[in-house]
Amino acid sequence: MSDQVKRLKISELVPGTQNVDILVSIVSLQRKELKNERGESVYYYGILGDDTGTISFTAWIFPPTVRIGDVVEIKKASVREYKGINRVYIDAGSEVIMHPGESMDVRRSYSQLKIKDLSTAQPYVTVEGRVSSVREKELERDGKKTMMYYGDLDDDTGKIRISSFDKPLKEGSFIRMEGAKVSEYNGRLRMTLGSRTEVTEIKPSFQVGERLYDIHDISSPLGGVTVNGFIVSLGPKSGLVMRCSACNNRLDDIHCPDHPEAPVAYDLFAYFTLDDGTGSIQCTGGKAALLGHLGFTPEEYTPENKTISRRLVSSRLQEKLLGRAVVIEGDVTRNQSGTSVRISSLNYVDTDFMKKLEARMGADFQ
């Protein structure tokens, strides 16, 4: 290993390079606190840029006064690959020298990724997909009215929520977004089209269809996944839920404290563990996905129907879910207690699904 310091451009950085010296602009910067058995520590991560491109970085030592847009010289950094992404590492042996008053043009370069590979570790990317479920909202920003468009973007690997300020989204169109930003909100990933994002309509090179995953392969909060397996446990608090018809809040009593006159509405909530032999995942589902399987129509499932009781709903859930082989569709979310799937539909495994599964599994041995 050579101790000689090398001044390089970002486009010249390759994994394994040590003692790198780079002059860069800070494109994005995040601070993260870490608590573990060894105590508390802080690290920084983000994106560095110069006139040849951009690269992610992680810094264990970093001047707290550095801001986005600042130009800094980083000495004795190293470059390694982490999760398939090249990254500059700045540690105790490195030096970060600020160049106040300087500015630098950054050549934006974005990796093109599939939706399943998106993560906040690589916040600016290029993605292609089909736009659907477009809605719009008028917002006021700094006293100025602006339109926000939001919807879903699907490719052959997953689905993600997208939002766009001022740039309209066209329902059903296939688009390529260069420089869209990935972030995580409420345990789900989403993408935002900013002023620098370039959007072009494309002819798709992929098909949007069922995205069948092994549970083992689900590691990020990915939308629109299909998984299958046996339901091996059903949460004891699954069952009939009462809600206030005025505020939709969950009720412990038969009257809402805020709307005592409002009628009660029946809802349904179930949580269970799905196991497919490669792993298990927690799933949650509500009335839309599950009521039909319990043998009730929405019209029957009301407080006026005296044949419906908590006990009956619990026993139907046991009978119709526990130990059953099912195919579920839904969105993966991530929170403090782990990864789970919020299901949008549930179907029992049937012979048609088995044929599809057999073809997919057979491909492993060809």
Partner 1 sequence: MTRKREFTNWIFGRELRDSRELEERPDEERAKPYVITPLGTRVRRVLFCGLVSQKNADESMTRVTVTDGTGNFYISAFNSDFGMQAKAMVDALEINDQVLVMGRVSSYQNEGKTYFNVNPEIAIKVDSVSMDYWRMKTLHIARRKIYAIRMARNRPGSTATDVKAAGYSDLEAESAMKAMEKYPDYDLQEFESAIAAQIQPAAKEEHKSSKDFILQYIQANDTDGRGCRYEDLLAASQNASISQNELDDLLNSLGSDGEIFEVSLKRYKVI
Q: Which spans of this chain sit near partner 1 (rule: CB under 8 A)?
A: 216, 230, 232-233, 273, 275-280, 322-325, 337-338, 348-351, 354, 357-358, 361, 364-365
For residue 86, the minimal CB distance to partner 1 (Å) is 20
Q: Which is nearer to partner 1, 221 or 229 (CB)?
A: 229
**Beta carbons within 8 Å of 292's beta carbon, 6+ residues apart:** none
CB-CB contact of 20 with 77 (8 Å)? yes
CB-CB contact of 119 with 184 (8 Å)? no
Q: Which is nearer to partner 1, 166 or 217 (CB)?
A: 217
Q: Which is nearer to partner 1, 13 or 227 (CB)?
A: 227
Supply the DSSP symbol for 115. Answer: G
Strand partners of residue 198: 178
Q: Which is nearer to partner 1, 82 or 348 (CB)?
A: 348
3-state secondary structure 312-326: HHHHHHHHHHCCCEE
DSSP string for residues in 118-131 = --TTS-EEEEEEEE
Q: What angle do CA 130, 134, 139 make, to 5 degrees?
A: 135
Q: Which is nearer to partner 1, 185 or 365 (CB)?
A: 365
**Beta carbons within 8 Å of 153's beta carbon, 6+ residues apart:** 115, 127, 129, 130, 131, 132, 159, 160, 161, 162, 175, 177, 191
For residue 216, the minimal CB distance to partner 1 (Å) is 6
Q: How many residues does the chain have?
A: 366
For residue 310, the minimal CB distance to partner 1 (Å) is 19
Q: Which of 128, 179, 131 is nearest to 153 (CA)?
A: 131
**C-alpha span between 327 and 356 (Å, rounded):** 12
Q: Which is nearer to partner 1, 279 or 286 (CB)?
A: 279
CB atoms within 10 A of CB 296: 21
For residue 227, the minimal CB distance to partner 1 (Å) is 12
For residue 277, the minimal CB distance to partner 1 (Å) is 4
For residue 214, the minimal CB distance to partner 1 (Å) is 9
Site of tokens 């950094």: 77
Strand partners of residue 36: 39
CB-CB contact of 45 with 38 (8 Å)? no
Q: What is each CA distance from 273 to 215, 230, 326, in whole angstroms?
A: 11, 8, 11
Secondary structure of the chain: what % helix, strand, coil (to 5)? 10, 50, 40
For residue 356, the minimal CB distance to partner 1 (Å) is 11
Q: Which is nearer to partner 1, 103 or 335 (CB)?
A: 335
Q: Which is nearer to partner 1, 34 or 361 (CB)?
A: 361
**C-alpha span between 297 and 195 (Å, rounded):** 47
For residue 212, the minimal CB distance to partner 1 (Å) is 12
Q: Which is nearer to partner 1, 138 or 352 (CB)?
A: 352
Q: Which is nearer to partner 1, 127 or 294 (CB)?
A: 294
Q: In the Cβ-directed half-sphere of 16, how many Cα atoms lie within 13 Å?
A: 1
For residue 215, the minimal CB distance to partner 1 (Å) is 11
For residue 360, the minimal CB distance to partner 1 (Å) is 10
Helices (H), 173-301: 287-290
